[in-house]
Structure 1
Amino acid sequence: MSVPYRLLSLSCACLLLGANDLRAEDWQYRLSAGVANAPRYSGASERTSAPLLAGSITSPAGFFLDSQKGLGWAHDGEAFDFGVYLGASAARKDRRAGFEGSDKLDGMGSIKSRPLVGLDAAYHLGPLTLAANFEHALEEDKDEPDTGSAYNHLKLSLAMQLYKGRFGELTGGVNSQFGDGDYVRTWYGVSQAQASRSQFRAHEARGGLVSRGAELAWRLPFDQHWSLTTVLAADYLSNDAGNSPLVDKRLQTSVLSQMTYTF
């Protein structure tokens, strides 16, 4: 993928800010451009600034094609939202290449993107929104269990609108992320084979809680078409993920700002 892996954690706040915009009776088109600053990989102390370019098309029936999520369908109701999609998983290079990867990962092997199936659900309870996102990434290479296994990832979020007025809309949220054993091993584990090829000691990673985080998102509309969104996010890596020798910093922070045109 063209942006650092941890920027995926910012998507929930952006979707919450734009949820009302998606409840439309006509076709909707959205184009976004901006910049993000984030760790080069989950757990890294190295950072990179990368351009963001995104687009989406949503039909009146709820079907959508999104450059970040993929192809799917979503229902946005007054109290409950639900969506399914087919997309591509995150990736990680074991060398520095433009905005991606890090030479520190040399010998770990690259984690290639593979098809995934995702489910989104959100329940609106007054000013609060309870949300869940589940993704199942398919097996990429059965001969490379360290980097190519199928895995499952779950993100649970609680968001609240903190302000809405002449200066736009401010939303804050907290989240917890979980992964099965294959997920944690893929992104944070170090097998004996990887340890022999890299600078890292072997690390057996088990499934469970991966991180706890918080997000703050501000959306400023200029008119019915143009808006500016800025998101600040922080994730604290926990358990076997946080104890991984790949992790230089448990506390990972990211920021993005993007201009969006909707028509």
Structure 2
Amino acid sequence: MFRSLYLPLTSFCLLLPSTSLYAEDWHYSLRAGAASAPRYSGSDERVVAPLLGGEIVSPYGFFLDTQKGLGWAFDEDDFGLSVYVGASDVRKDRKSGFKGSDELNGMGSIKSRPLLGLDGTYHMGLIILGASYEHALEEDEDEHDTGSAWNRLKLSISAPFYEGDYGKVVGSLNSQFGDSNYMRTWYGVSSAQASRSKFKAYDTKGGLVSRGADLTWSLPINDEWSFTTVLAVQYLGGKAADSPIVEKRMQTSVAGQVVYSF
């Protein structure tokens, strides 16, 4: 859907309504909206970008989603699981439409590459525990700075605050972790990158990327139409916050979408 806007904005995707569950019949949905988010993780520049997407779910749990990719999902009572193959985030080292920032000039662009994902949820009464794991394949073995394979893990806990005539409000807390390749790709500055950009060299190891909170309001309009808005806050921590490319540790994003399901 909008992976190219990277971590602060793509974290919304985990909260927006998804129908990738075991269905009795074919299910289709179309999504349209807009989002305001930092231009890259750590940026103090913002971009307002359109959100357009769709999803097809088969009766056997297989789905095709413009946000995640091609996968399979099931949901039974207290436990849900989905696996998928998609495309990883990108980051450009120049401003180009809704993507990139001139502040990263000389850092080189991080290209998209095949990504394997696994999402799981477990319900404990009103509380929902969630975990999301992503593995991006190596893009180019000669591009050690921007093309290495990486792993990212997101853990979350959420609960409803309100459910009634005005829809449903859900709050969530989360923590995100990345391995050394992930941290080097998105927050590191190699000697070669330092020589081409305004940043000093910075080496980092794997660990905590950020802690955050999300607030989601979903409002059904009728049997086919619904509206969802999400406010997300991510506070960069650990080695990520110390990166010279990080201009602002507190990253805030807001998105709204209309969903048509049939």
TM-score range, shorter chain: over 0.9
Read off the aligned partner of 2:112 and give its amino acid letter: S
- Aligned-residue Cα RMSD (Å) equals 1.2
1:129-154 residue CA offsets vs partner (Å, 9 max, x unmatched): 00000000000010010000000000
Structure 1 counterpart of 2:217: 218
Name stretches of at least 5 consecutive residues in structure 2 with no aligned partner.
none
Q: Structure 1 stretches of 5 or more lacking a match?
A: none
1:12 aligns with 2:14: yes
Does 2:47 match 1:48?
yes
**Contact 1:75–1:81 (CA under 8 A) maintained in structure 2:** yes
Q: How many residues align?
A: 260
Q: Which residue is equivalent to 2:28? A: 29
TM-score by length of 1: 0.97
Letter of the 2:259 counterpart: T
The Cα offsets for residues 200-238 of structure 1, whole Å up to 9 and x where unpaired, read as 011111100100000000000010100000000000001
Match of 1:240 in 2: 239
C-alpha distance in 2 between matches for 1:243 and 1:73: 38
1:127-186 deviations in Å (ceiling 9; x for gaps): 010000000000001001000000000000101011111000100000000000000000
Cα distance between partner residues in 2 of 1:14 and 1:55:
12
Q: Is the 8 A contact 2:82 2:118 kept in 1?
A: yes
Residue 163 of structure 1 is matched in structure 2 by 162
Report what 1:182 is aligned to: 181
Deviation at 1:3, TM superposition (A): 4.5
* 1:13–1:171 contact (8 Å) kept in structure 2: no
Q: Structure 2-normalised TM-score?
A: 0.97
What SS does the aligned partner of 2:214 have?
strand
Percent of residue pairs identical: 60
Find the aligned partners of 2:3 and 2:118 in 1 and give their Cα distance.
Answer: 23
Q: Is contact 2:218–2:226 with CA below 8 Å preserved after alignment?
A: yes
What residue identity is the alignment partner of 1:255?
V
1:102-117 matched pairs, under 5 angstroms: 102-117=101-116
SS class of match (1:183): helix
In 1, are the aligned partners of 2:3 and 2:10 still within 8 Å (CA)?
no
**86-95 vs 21-30, which moves further:** 21-30
Give distance in 2, aligned partners of 1:166 and 1:24: 26
1: CA distance, partners of 2:73 / 2:119: 8
Q: 1:144 is matched with which residue?
A: 143
Partner residue, 2:69: 70
In structure 2, distance between residues paired with 1:175 and 1:168 = 23
Q: CA deviation at 1:24?
A: 3.1
Q: Is the 8 A contact 1:13 1:173 kept in 2?
A: no
Deviation >4 Å, runs of 4+:
none
